[in-house]
Structure 1
Amino acid sequence: MSRIIVTASTRMELSELLAATTACALPGGGHVPLHRAEVGGFEILFALTGIGKVNAASATTLLCERYAPDLVINTGCGGAFAGAGLAVGDLAVADSECLADEGVTTPTGWRGLDLIGIPVYEGRGERLFNRIPLDQELARRALDCATAGGFDAVMGPFLTVSTCSGTTRQGEELLRRFPGVCENMEGAAVAQVALMYGVPCLEVRGISNMVEDRDLSRWDLKRAVGQVQRFLGLYLEQLAAGRPGIR
């Protein structure tokens, strides 16, 4: 039976999927709370990682070592950058991930890890510094599934940060460093660990806010996580059914 692991940082970002798939708590996940469900011929493990890159990397490492997944899906909410074509409640699909604040502050400005010359990953003929590649075809099929299902969705690069951007100015600074459509706090860590283990990784997030001067009255976390979980429920059903263009 093929195994898919779905990771998110908070229970709110998994609760609707757990209910929809009637997932049951699974012991043996160590420090990572796990639930298990079967969808068609797939075993789905839902993992609650906790917030941030350290928690995400630790959890993904444990899951890859212990459960040898065929696919890792990282989900949750994210903030959309201006000009990305996204609004609150839309879906963003990652075609790559980026460690957007790993680097060096110099007298002439911020520089990425290539300035140091030490990659975060080296293998399979690659030396990766800030940008972590994702499976383009997997992302494209997910985008097609979303649009066919009536979801408003955009595909593009994601930026992972340790400090959420609470100002328009900070968002503009990040985009000067790297192109991006969506900001989050875990995705690059999950993608990097999955790459190390040779496991395909898909990241889809619901947009909860725009990257702008922080104003919680303009946020909608419930709508964001609800939309992305409804999409992933559809995606997993169609994947299990072997729908052409999904598998």
Structure 2
Amino acid sequence: MRRVVVTASTRMELSELIPAASALPFSGVGHLPLWRAELAGQELFIAQTGMGKANAACAATLLCERLTPDLLVNTGCGGAFPGCGVGVGDIAVADAECFADEGVLTPDGWRGLDLIGIPLYEGRGERVFNRVPLPLEPARRALAHAAAEGFAAALGPFLTVSTCSGTSRRGEEMLRRFPGICENMEGAALAHVALIYGVACLEVRGISNMVEDRDMSRWDLKRAVGEVQRFLFSLLKCPDALFGS
């Protein structure tokens, strides 16, 4: 039986998926709030990690060590960059993750970790600095499933930050560093840990807001987290869409 682990930073981002999957509380994996279910012939674990990169990396390490998943799926909400092809309520699927604000501030401006020359990860013929690769086939299958099920979705790189971009100017600065469609606070850390453990990783997020001058009256968190959980439950019920036939 294949084992799938789904993570999100908050309970709100899992509030529909847990009952939809009939998942029950599960103990024994450190401090993590965790639920378990069997769905479509798969063993499914759903974990609440806490917000930010440190919480995400800690949780992903525990989950990879204790559960040895076949697939790690990161979900939740995120902000979309204007002109990226997704809007509020749409689904964003990652084909790569970037540590967007790890680097060096020089007299000539910001530079990435390659300036230091010490990779975050080195192995399997790869040297990873800011950009963490994600396996493309799970992402492409997820995008195809979204189209088949009528979800508005786009595929592209995600940017993970420690400080949310609350101005249009900051968003533009992030995009000058790395191309991207979606900003979040955990994804690169989860992708990094999955890479270390050799676990396939998929990231799908619901868009709650645009990366612009912060105006929460224009946000729709409820719609974003509801839509992405409905999409993810639909995906989890189709093992061929997750793993291929």
Q: TM-score, normalised by structure 2?
A: 0.98
Q: Secondary structure at the match of 2:155?
A: strand
Q: Displacement of 1:29 after TM fit?
A: 1.8
Q: Distance in 2 between matches of 1:243 and 1:172?
A: 34
Judging changes above 3 Å, is the alpha-carbon distance between structure 1 residues 19 and 161 closer, same or farther for their aligned structure 2 residues?
A: same
Partner of residue 139, structure 2: 139
- Map residues 28-47 of structure 1 onto 2, 5 A cutoff: 28-47=28-47
Q: Displacement of 1:30 after TM fit?
A: 1.1
Q: Distance in 1 between matches of 2:193 and 2:2?
A: 20
**Paired residues of 1:60 and 1:190 also in contact (CA < 8 A):** yes
CA offsets, 1:44-63, max 9 Å, x none? 00000000000000000000
**Paired residues of 1:142 and 1:246 also in contact (CA < 8 A):** no
Q: TM-score, normalised by structure 1?
A: 0.97
Q: Distance in 2 between matches of 1:72 and 1:6?
A: 6
**Paired residues of 1:121 and 1:129 also in contact (CA < 8 A):** yes
- Map residues 49-64 of structure 1 onto 2, 5 A cutoff: 49-64=49-64
**Paired residues of 2:235 and 2:242 also in contact (CA < 8 A):** no
CA offsets, 1:83-139, max 9 Å, x none? 101110000000000000000000010000000001000001111100000011110
Q: Displacement of 1:180 after TM fit?
A: 0.3
One-letter identity of the residue aligned with 1:17: L
Q: Distance in 2 between matches of 1:152 and 1:219?
A: 17
One-letter identity of the residue aligned with 1:188: A
Partner of residue 75, structure 2: 75
Q: Secondary structure at the match of 1:229?
A: helix
Partner of residue 116, structure 1: 116
**Paired residues of 2:236 and 2:242 also in contact (CA < 8 A):** no
Judging changes above 3 Å, is the alpha-carbon distance between structure 1 residues 243 and 154 closer, same or farther for their aligned structure 2 residues?
A: closer
Partner of residue 17, structure 1: 17
One-letter identity of the residue aligned with 1:152: A
One-letter identity of the residue aligned with 1:92: A
Partner of residue 208, structure 1: 208
Instruction: Say what the alpha-carbon RMSD is for the aligned residues.
Output: 1.1
**Paired residues of 1:145 and 1:246 also in contact (CA < 8 A):** no
Q: Displacement of 1:202 after TM fit?
A: 0.2
Q: Displacement of 1:141 after TM fit?
A: 0.4
Q: Displacement of 1:31 after TM fit?
A: 1.0
Q: Secondary structure at the match of 1:204?
A: strand
Partner of residue 90, structure 1: 90
Extract structure 1 runs of 4+ deviating beyond 4 A. 243-247
**Paired residues of 2:141 and 2:241 also in contact (CA < 8 A):** no
Q: Displacement of 1:66 after TM fit?
A: 0.5
**Paired residues of 1:160 and 1:183 also in contact (CA < 8 A):** yes
Q: Secondary structure at the match of 2:61?
A: helix
Q: Distance in 2 between matches of 1:8 and 1:40?
A: 21
Judging changes above 3 Å, is the alpha-carbon distance between structure 1 residues 244 and 198 closer, same or farther for their aligned structure 2 residues?
A: closer
Q: Displacement of 1:40 after TM fit?
A: 1.9
Q: Displacement of 1:246 after TM fit?
A: 4.3
Q: Secondary structure at the match of 2:75?
A: strand
Structure 1 residues without counterparts, runs of 5 or longer? none
Structure 2 residues without counterparts, runs of 5 or longer? none
**Paired residues of 2:92 and 2:182 also in contact (CA < 8 A):** yes
Q: Secondary structure at the match of 1:154?
A: strand
One-letter identity of the residue aligned with 1:111: R
One-letter identity of the residue aligned with 1:85: G
Q: Displacement of 1:244 after TM fit?
A: 9.6
